[in-house]
Structure 1
Amino acid sequence: MAASSTESFCERLSEKLAAMSKTKGVDIDVSVLEAQRLFGNLPSTPLVMVIDYYHNDYEEAEATTVTSLKHTYPRREFKDHGKLSNFVCDSRGFEELVRGLACRFSNRSSQHKILLNKTFFFQVVKEIFYSERGVGVKLEDGSTYRAKYVVVSVSIGVLQSNLIRFTPTLPMWKMNAISEFDMSVYTKIFLKFPYKFWPTGPGTEFSLYAHSRRGYYPFWQHLENEYPGSNILFVTITSEESRRVEKLSNEAVQREAMDVLRKMYGDRIPNPEQILVPRWSMDRLYKGSYSNWPNGYTKAKHDQLKARVGSVYFTGEHTNSRYLGYATGAYLAGWLPACPLYTI
């Protein structure tokens, strides 16, 4: 099957999955892979697998065996904002968005400016204790701060770790809602070369590598459109491949990546001058990249995930079901009222 016809096949399958997830009267949830099996369209060859990877794993950062059909298709971010993906190449970095929001907040009133002056950076929360009288937040340096309420916006991965202790322990319904959600891992490995050896120009920015092992260094991109002359290639891997690669040394990752590139471009290409390997799941302050809705996780359970417990409120991209995993979801979750359904 030619690459173009294979991609058309995957796009048609995506349309079928979206239609199936919206079928009236069908209240059951299945994984994306189960839905593919129902249609008799299981990806089998390396070529079909890598294109299917692009349509699914590349978005959710988890395998189709895990991802919920009902809460993934149709993809609302594409439906609401279009399918065009814009690569942000602002040299100030993602941090500038946060700074912009903070400035808008601090300029509202002198009271808010005072509050902003009491913001503590580079501090790690170790314990949150709460009661009917209010809350306390204890930091790693031993200092403690008290308030009427606290808003917890750490990732679902951090909530699933032992970084923050809640006293008293969160109720079982809350702990179950947290533990049963997924935190995916999305890794972009950057390689800077002494010169470019890959094609550039219209239609050349992205390349797929077909391998018998799904998700093995599958999705490549160059940065000549965004940063001409940078001589940078990067490859995206996800899920279990990300976790496997994170445990390797940079040298070992480079050997694997270069083996793939030499299969794509020949043996005479140079080694990179630099390599950057993010390790999001191993960072205790992130424990992954963003959340993913797993098969079988109900709407009622998600209401519990975002619900407050007494004076402790929860927010973050994982609490926004429409733009799950996106900065848009995190932004909107900060504006939406907390779910009042489950309280102590």
Structure 2
Amino acid sequence: MLIGKEEYEAADLNRISARQHFFGDSPGDDEEERGEDMALKRGYGSLIQRIVERFALPIQLNTQVTRIVTSASNRAQILTKNGETIQAKYILITVPLGCLKQETISFEPSLPQWKQNAIDAMGFGDTDKIILQFDKTFWDSKLTTFYIAGASYPFTVSAPKKRILEFMIGGTRARRMEASKDENTIATILNDLKRAFPNQNFKLERYRISRWTADPYARGSYSYYAFNTSLETFETLARECCYNQLFWAGEHTSSGGSVHTAFATGQREAKKILQRFENKLNY
């Protein structure tokens, strides 16, 4: 149970708020609000691509933002690594909390202290997924999940017809795995499987290992309640600031969950920005 909590929160137990765990709502705990967990056949990129095509959005790729400048002049600037400057009335910031914590984007003037305090306080976890495809199904075909004694992770049968197993690891185990070579990680997993299925001959055909904490554009996986954080911390992370030119969205700006909350908060902030434009037109 305790290991499962670390995987779910993507953090070590000694970093998680016991008060919020026992008496509050952890992100995504509301089953009715969260709905059923589903996987996109072609990945999240296909969802974004469909939205881009449907609304003919001018998406600019391979453009790393390094600095954001706000001012009382009703104009904000976005500066990129390649030297480009983009002018805007409002800026919606959706980068992961890990990037905000490690200040991969600088702000001029600096963010207000109340905003920085919330960024520093909210936990941002380490979790990774390992996906394995085998040459055959060597486990009971009726199983959807199974545990192996001595292994600290459950295996999920994510694509039975394609002979795929996957599992997630979080906290210290995820950081240790990210620091290890792929061959060492895979060897440990295969040893566990061979120990559990000693009479089966199977071959690993392909695998994929995520390393979200090492990813410079993520710096971790998703948020969790750390010490001295509460629902108000999420609300503070969501509040606009800096001459009301900076708006904030992402899974760390609402306690509802991860992927769907990131999507919903983007819609929430887009509506706010549209309302600002409408108010100015009607003024």
Q: Same fold (TM over 0.5)?
A: yes
- Aligned residues with identical type, % of pairs: 23
- Which of residues 5, 18, 25 is equivalent to 1:72? 25
**Residue of structure 1 equivalent to 2:279:** none
**Residue of structure 2 equivalent to 1:59:** 8
2:52 aligned counterpart, secondary structure: helix
1:236 equivalent in alignment to 2:176: no
- Which of residues 231, 241, 247 is equivalent to 1:313? 247
**Residue of structure 2 equivalent to 1:182:** 123
**Residue of structure 1 equivalent to 2:81:** 140
TM-score of the aligned structures, taking structure 2 as reference length: 0.83
2:62 aligned counterpart, secondary structure: coil
- Which of residues 125, 144, 148 is equivalent to 1:205? 144
**Residue of structure 2 equivalent to 1:99:** 49
Residue by residue, what CA displacement relative to the aligned partner does 1:193-235 show, whole Å, maximum 9, x if unpaired? 222221112xx01012343xxxx5411012443xx1x222222
* Distance in 1 (alpha carbons) for counterparts of 2:209 and 2:137: 20
1:122 aligned counterpart, secondary structure: coil
User: Please, which runs of 5 or more residues in structure 1 have no aligned partner?
Assistant: 1-48, 107-112, 340-344
Provide closer, same or farther for how the CA distance between residues 98 and 248 of structure 1 changes in structure 2, counting only shifts above 3 A.
Answer: same
User: Please, which runs of 5 or more residues in structure 2 have no aligned partner?
Assistant: 274-283
Count of residues in Structure 1 that have an aligned counterpart in Structure 2: 264
* Distance in 2 (alpha carbons) for counterparts of 1:334 and 1:159: 17
TM-score of the aligned structures, taking structure 1 as reference length: 0.69
1:125 equivalent in alignment to 2:65: yes
Q: Is the 8 A contact 1:205 1:221 kept in 2?
A: yes
1:4-43 maps to which residues of 2 (within 5 A)?
none
| Deviation (angstroms), 1:306 | 1.5
**Residue of structure 1 equivalent to 2:277:** none
1:220-299 maps to which residues of 2 (within 5 A)?
220-225=155-160, 228=161, 230-266=162-198, 269-299=201-231
Provide closer, same or farther for how the CA distance between residues 234 and 73 of structure 1 changes in structure 2, counting only shifts above 3 A.
Answer: closer
Return the structure number with greater relative CO, CA threshold 8 A, min gap 6.
2
**Residue of structure 2 equivalent to 1:151:** 92
Q: Is the 8 A contact 2:223 2:252 kept in 1?
A: yes
